[in-house]
Structure 1
Amino acid sequence: MVAAEIIGTAAARGSGTTRKRRVVGTKGLFGIEAAKNEADSVDNEIDFGDRGDVIVGSFSDEAVARLEKKSDVRYVEDDIEVYALEQTKPWGIDRVDADVVHGNGKTGEGAHIAILDTGIDSDHPDLQANVGEGYAVEECSGGDCNEDWDDDHSHGTHCAGIANAVDNGKGVVGVSTEATLHAVKVLSGEGSGSASGVAEGIKWAADQGYGVLSMSLGASSGSSTIQDALQYAQERDCVIIAAAGNAGPCTDCVHYPGAYPEAMAVGSTAEGDAMSEFSSTGEEVEICAPGSDVLSCVKDGDYKKYSGTSMATPHVAGAAGLLRAQGLSAEETRKRLTETAEDLGHDSNEQGAGLLNVEKAVGDGGGGDEPDEPDEPEPTPLGVETGSVTELGETEATLGGNLTGLGDSSSATVGFRYWESGDREGTEQTVEVGSRDATGEFSQAVTGLTAEVSYQFLAYATDGDSEVTGAAVEFTTGSGLNVSTAPATNVGGNTATLVGNLQGLGDFDEADVGFHYWAEGKKKATLEIREVGERTSPGEFTFDISDLRTDTTYVFVAYGDPDWSEAEDFGSELTFTTGSTDDPDEPDEPDEPDEPDEPDEPNPDAPFAVEATGTDWVTRGAAKLVGELTRMDDGVGRVQTEFQYWMKGNKSSTFAVDDADTLYRPGEIDEMVWGLRRGETHVSRIRAWDDNGNEVFSDEFEFVTQS
C-alpha cells in the first residue's frame, strides 16, 4: 500500500534535559530573537507574513518552558515526522466525467497545481510537457535526479498523473490535461519529512501564486505550523485539497490537515460507487472521489495502480485546476465543487457533499459561468423571530418573540406554537398573543406544562394571507439548572451575536454561562468555546463574534455550568449562515478595536501598585494568570484586584474575572480564566482599587493559547 501520511505525533516532554527538533511560532522581532537565543541550533526560519515567523531548530525542555511563557511566542511544538506509506493499487477519470469536459475544450490551461508530496518524475512521458518550476524541501537522492524536486519514491508522480497527465493517446490521462504542475517535494525518497517542511512547501507554493494545492498526506494530530501555512495560503487565494486519511473503517477519524477548515477533506470511493473501506470518516469530509485501484504514473516512466484517499485527492485537485482556469476564485471553486457533487446515498460523514462531478462543476466555462450570483430574492412580506424563555418553572414558562417586519400589511397577528420534543403532532398547542401594527417584541405566559419535560416552541406571524415562523427553540421545565439557545442576531459576513437564556439555577447560587460554536460539518477542527461570565439570576446572555468565515454555516449552543465539572446544561443546537461581507463597499475596515474608552494612565499617584508577571501555564482554552501587588503605602487598608483579558484586536469585549482577590499587604495574585479561543493571542492586565476610589492598571501582557 502506498499513502502519504503525516503519522508522527509529538512525544511527551520528559522532566530531564532533552533536546529535540522543535518549531517555535513567533510574532514580532522580540519573539524571533527569543526563539533564536534559546535554540541550541537553528535549522530554518519561515516567514508567514502578518501571522508571524516560525523558527525550526533544536531546543531543550528548559528552553521550551521559558519560551512558552513569553508573550511574543505563539506556540512551541515538536516537529513531527511525515511518511509516505505504500498503498495497494488507481481508475476514475471516466466516473467523474472529466473526459467529457476535455471534449468540450476544457483542459485547465493557465491554471497552476502544486503537488506537495515526494516530487514528480520530470522525465515521465505523460507529465513532462506539463511540469513547471518546482521546489525541494527534501532533495531527490540517487542517480536518476534531474532536479532537486524529482521523485525518488513514486507517490507524488502518481498523484500528479491523476491530477494533470497529458492527453497524448498513451499511458493515462488526468482530470485536467494542460494545467502546469509544480512539484513541491516535502517528502524524501524513503517517504519521510517534517511538519515544518510541509509548512515551508505550502508557503512557497502560495508565494508563487499557484491556485491549487494538492496534499495527499495527513496526521491523526494537528500541527500549528501547518495550520499557519494553510491560513497563509488561504489568504493568498489558494484552494487547498487534502486527503481525509486511510484509517477506515473508523469513526470521526479524518486526518490533518484535511480536518482543518482551510482544507477540503477528500474521501475515497471504489468502483460501483461504494465508499472505499480504508477511507477515513468524519464530519470534516467535504467531498469524495475515486481512490481504489486507480491507474496512474510512477517514476521511471512506468504506470501502476494504487489505492487510497491519496488518489482521491488529486482527482479533486485536477477539477479545481479546470475551474481556476475559468477564472473562479478559491472560494468560488470550493463552493462549486461541493454544490455540483453527486449524492451517492452514503452518510455525509463518509461522502461529504457527494462524488466529484467534473462535467457539472465545469459546465460551459467562461469566467466561472457566474455560478454564485442568484437573482435578488423577493422581500419576505412578514418577519418574525423566536426569542427566549423567561420565568421558567416546573409547569409554566413565558415565551418570547419579535415581530421584525410587516411587509405590505398594516398589522399582523402574532403568537406561539409549542409542543413536547419528539411528539409535535400529538402535543402541539397554539396560543395567540394578538394583533400588532408595529414591529417589536412580544411574549406570552403558558401554564399547565409537565414538570421535567423538554419542549420546543416557535413564534409565528400572519397577515391573513400568509404566515411566517421563527426557528424552533427548546426548553425544559423543572427546578434544576436550565439553559436554552435562542436564534443568533446581527449576522453579517464575519460577525454574529450568539444569544442564550439562563432559565433557572435550581439549587445553585450561580453558574458560568457561554457558548460552544463550530463550522457545520467540521466540529472537531473548528470547535470554539466562549465564556460570557458568571450569572446569579436567570436572564438572557449574549456574545459577539467578529472573526467568522464568510458564506459559512455555523452551529452553536448555549451552556450553563455551576462548577466546570458537574450539572452542566446545554440548550438545543441552532445554526446561522454568514454572508459574503459585512459591507461589500467597505470591507475589512474595523473601528479601532484596541482603543476602548478608558484612561490611558488611571491615577498614577495611587498609594499602591500592581505588576502583571504573565502566565503560569496555558492550554488550548484556559490559562492561569499571575501578578503581584508590589506596593501598598501606609493608610491603605486593603486593595482589591482582578484580571481583565480579551482576544488581541478585540479589546472592546473585555472580560474580567469576577471573584476579585482582596489583599491586605503586598503579595502575589493569580487567577484561572476559561473559555479562551484556541491558538489565538490574548491580552491581559490587572486592575486594582481601594476603598478611597483610587484605581490603577498594570501593564498589558500577551499570551497564546495552544492549538
Structure 2
Amino acid sequence: MTASTVAGTGIGTVSGADDDCHRYVVGAAPNASTRSISSDAKTVHRTLEFGSIGTATVCSCTDDVAKRYAARSDVRYVERDHVRRAIETVSAASERTATQVEPDPSEEQVVPWGIERLGVESLPDKTDSSRQASIAVLDTGIDPEHESLEVDDGISFVDCSEDGCDSDWEDDGLHGTHIAGTAAAVDNDVGVVGVTPNAELCAVKVLDGDGSGHDSEIAAAIEWCADEGIDVLTLSLGGPEPGPILEDAMEYAYENGVLVFAAAGNAGPDEGTVDYPAAYDSCIAVGATDSRDNVADFSARGDGIELVAPGVDIVSTTPGDDYEVMDGTSMAVPHVAGLAARLIGSGIAHADDTNDADDPGGVRGILRETAEDLGADEMEQGYGLVDAASAAEEIGTVATDAATKVRATTATLTGTLRSLEDADAADVFFHWRPAESDEWTETDPESVPEDEAFSAELTDLEPETAYEFRAAVDSPDANEIGETATFETGLDSLVVETGDASAIDHESVQCVGTLEGMGDADAVEVAFQWRDADDSSWTDADGEEREEIGEFDDELSGLDYETEYEVRAVATAGDETATGDAVSVETDPEPGLPEIEQFEIDDSSSQNFVGASVQWTVTDQDGDLVEITSELRYADGDEVLHSVTSELEGGEESGTHTLKNTDRLEGAGEEYEIATAVADGEGNVTDVSEQVTLDEKSPSPSIDRFEVTPTDFLGDPSAEVEWAVSDEGGELWELELELCLAGDDEVLDDASTMARGDEKSGSHRLTDGDTDGETEYEVTITVADYFEQVTTETTTITLGE
C-alpha cells in the first residue's frame, strides 16, 4: 500500500437556493409554534427539538419571510443554513522528524506514534467490564468492511454518492474512516490499533463524499446521538462562521451526558482562527501537535483551544482495507475522544457540572487537569497535551457501586475491583457509617480477583436512617478508597406510598409507587390497583416481587379514553397488605389520524437516474408520529421501484424523500405514481398519492449543419463532411457518417464519434478507395441522443473525374 498525506477540518459557506428562496434555520423559543413557522415557508426540511433550549426549524423561504421570522418575539435567531466543507491538504513536511511506518497486512499490527506518545498502549484496562463506552464519528461515514474496524451501528443524514454503497452511512470519501481508526481500531494483529479498541463505534454520516454537509444535518445528527445515549462525539469538521443551530445541538447533547470534541481548525498560526463548532463552550476544541511536541503551524490559535493531541503524520484506516498518513486537527480529535471514551467506560461522568465552564469536573475536568504543559502559549495549547497515563491515574483501582436489598435494618453494599498492575487479586472491604457520624466501621476483608464485583451485608441498622459507605482495597499493588455513596433504610413495618400517575395516551396511564418499609419480610409483592372514579370496586394489576425498598412503576393499559380513574399502590407480604393513598388521573381523548400537511413533488432526475424529491410535513394531534414511507412505481404497475422510510417522533415532522429509478433508459418520460404514507403509534395510517411524468424526454436531436464537399485524398475521390448537431435536452450521445453508392446500401466508408452535451460540431473525410471515373454517391449523417432517439439526413454528391 502507498501512503499519501492529506488533512482536514472544514470551512463554512452559505448554501444557495433556487429562485428567490434560500435555506434558513429558524431558532424558536420552547413554547413557540413550529406550525406557524412551517406555514410561511416554501419548504420545511426538518424540525429539531432541543428541550428547554427551544426548537430549530430548517426551511426554504424568501428573504422577506426570513425578516418576518426575525421580528417575532418567540424567535431566538434566523440564520442561513451554512454548508461545512473539508479543507484542502495541509503540508506539514517541515514538522516531520521521522519516516512514518506504514502498516502492511502481511506484517505485524502497527501502533501509530500518536497513540504511543499519549501513553495509551501501556494503560491498564480499568474500564468496567460491564460498560463499553460508545463513540460516534460524525463525518463522511465509515467503511463497514474494513479489516481493522468493527462498526456497531450507523445512520446517515446525507446521501451516499457512490453507487456501491451497501449502507447509507458508508464512507464515500475517506475522512471518516481515518478518524474512526484512530479512535477505535480493533486490536486484531493487523493494520493499526486505536485508542480504545473495545469502544462501541457508531458511524454518523453528516458529510457527503465531497466532504460537505449543512449545519442543520450536522445538528440533527448531534440531536440523534444525544437521544440515543451516545457517550462521545467526534466532529472533525468546522468553519469560520458561527452556526447557532450547532450551538443549540451541542448544548443539548452536553446537558444530556454527551462529551463533544471538534477540530480547532487548520488556519494557524494566526490567532483568532478557531473554527466553529469547536469554539463553543459546550464543545472541546482540539489542536494538533507533531512528534516533537510542538504545536503544528497549521493548528488554529485562540482562546477557544482546550487541548492538543498528535495531528501530524497520523496513520490510520481508509476505505478498502487501506491505510494513509494524514495531517490536521481532524486527526488530533479522535486521540482525545478515544481516551475520553475509556474514562467514561470506567464509570466517570462526562462532567459533574455542565453549567460551570471553568470547573466542569468529570472526564472533561480530568483531561484538563492531567494535560501536559508544553510551554506554549495558552492560545496555542489550551490546557496542554493530553496525557493518557496521568488521566488513568484518576481512575480508582476500586469503585463504589450501589447499596442493594435495602430494608429497615439491613442492606447489601456492592463494589468493583478494577485492574491491578502487578497482582491478580487483592483484599477488598467497605467503610460505612451513619451519615451524621464521623467514625467509619470496616467490613471483613475478602480477597477477589481483578475485574470482579464484591459485596458485604450490613445488619442491625437503624430504620429510617441515612448511611454513607465507600469501597476500599488493600494490597501491595494498591491501597485506595473509592468514592462515597449513600443509602437510607426503610420503615420497620410494611408501608407503601402512591406516587404520580400520568396519562400515556387515550387508553393507558403510567403509575409510580414507593415501597417505604418491608417489616420482617424477605420479599414483598408490589402492584397497583385501579378503578373508574365512579366505581367502588378495585381492579388488580399484575404485581412484581421486591427484595428491597425503593421506587417501582407500572403501565396500566386497556382503559377507556377521556375517563377519570383512581390509582393506588399496594404491597403484600404473606397475610399482610398495605395500600397507598389513591390518586386521580384522566386518560387522553380519543386519538385522531395523523395528517399530511405538505406533499410536494419535484423532478430531481439526473443523467444517472429518473428521480423525484418528495417534500413532506406531517402532524399528529397526539404527538405520536412513528414513521413515514414514500414509494415510487410506474403508474400502470404494482412493483415498487424504490422506497424510503423515515422514523418520526413527536407531533410534527418535516423532511424530504428522494426516490430513484436507476433504469433511466426505460424509465425516462414515463408516468409514475408516488405515494406517501404516515403512521402513528396506534397503527393509524394516512396516505396520499399523485401521478406525475418524470424526466420528460426532449425532442430528437437536431442536425444544424451538414455540408459535403467533393475532394481528393491521395488520388482517391473523397467527401469532406462538415457538421454541427445539437440537443435541446443536452443529451447528445453519438454521431455516425456513412458513404454509399447512390441507390446501394453497402457502406464504403464510415466515421463515428461520441457527441455528448447539448451541441457538437466537427468534420470528417469519407473516401472510396475503389472507384473508376465520375460516380454518384450518398452521404448520410445520423445523430442519436441518450434515449436512442435518432435524426438522419442524406445528401447526394458526385465524386471522381
Instruction: Give the TM-score normalised by structure 2.
Output: 0.44
Higher relative contact order (CA 8 A, sep 6+): 1
Give 1 or 2: higher strand fraction: 2
Which has the greater radius of gyration? 2
Instruction: Give the TM-score normalised by structure 1.
Output: 0.49
